[in-house]
Amino acid sequence: MRIIVKTSGGLANISRTSTVDTTTLAPEEAADLEAQVAAAGLRDLPGLLRAPISGADRLTYEVTLEDQERRHIVKADEGALSERLLELIHHVRTLARTKQG
């Protein structure tokens, strides 16, 4: 399984991409990431999540899940993220940073 998180927007309009592939993780890290994907319901989310209120300084997220032959992409406004999805995004970013350096 591979997860790609792209973030863009905000005041500085800076884009950032973080990628994690479970085949490069220790078995317990991969299992934890799988559990977070399930808890966030990522596989079942619609392709577009809109916040009730938008703003030029808000972030937008694109989360791509590649699992065997399936690819699921969720594009979300900052204000539309559930707590579990936000936790997953932060976890992917942390793992990606850890594996880079």
Residue spans of the domains in the chain: they are 2-100
pLDDT band of 100, cuts 50, 70, 90: low
Strands 48-49 and 16-21, by their bridges, are unpaired
Residues 6+ apart with CB under 8 A from 98: none
What is the percentage of the chain residues whose pLDDT exceeds 90?
A: 76
Domain 2-100 of CATH type 1.10.3470: no
Half-sphere exposure of 63 (CA within 13 A, CB side): 27
Distance in angstroms (rounded) separating the CA atoms of residues 44 and 101: 33
Angle between helices 83-100 and 27-40 (to 10 degrees): 150
pLDDT at 54 over 80: no
